[in-house]
Amino acid sequence: MLGCIILLSWIFVDIFSKCLKKLKIMEETPEFVVDEKLGSYFECLSVWDRKTWLAQEVHSNQELGIFTMGDWTREQLRTAKSHETKVLKNAVNYELICN
């Protein structure tokens, strides 16, 4: 019952805000596009982090039979070039047990 009330109120607010925008009473919020010239996720990892993550994955595959990533991800870890200026620090993945 509570979920239905929340859903209906959310729909009502959405429709109400669209009407206000059509009547030009409320302004539309512009979307800002920010391009920081970053590389891909794998390019922003340090070489050490990529090698460590890949070594953990290879060990898990060979010794334990556990696969936590696909072939494409493993290949990206192996072949990506590091970004010169922007590098992620600390936890590079969301595997909480590994961090």
- Is residue 23 in a domain? yes
Give the closest residue to 42 by CA, choosing from 85, 88, 91, 84: 88
Q: What is the pLDDT of residues 72-83, one digit of tens each?
A: 999 998 998 877
Is 52 within the bounds of a domain? yes
**pLDDT mean over 60-68:** 91
Q: Is 69 helix (H, G, I), strand (E, B) or coil?
A: coil
Scan for tokens 């925008």, then name that residue: 21
Residue 14 lies in a domain: yes
Check: CB of residue 92 under 8 Å from CB of residue 54: no
Range of the domain at 24: 2-79
Residue 79 φ then ψ, to 5°: -110, -10
Residue 18 lies in a domain: yes
Cα three-residue angle 22-28-31, rounded to 5 degrees: 145
Is 94 part of any domain?
Answer: no
Is residue 90 domain-resident?
no
Split into its structural domains, the chain has a count of 1
- Is residue 95 in a domain? no
Residues 6+ apart with CB under 8 A from 29: none
Tens of pLDDT, residues 43-63: 888 888 889 889 999 999 999
> What is the value of pTM for the model shown?
0.56
In a domain? residue 84: no
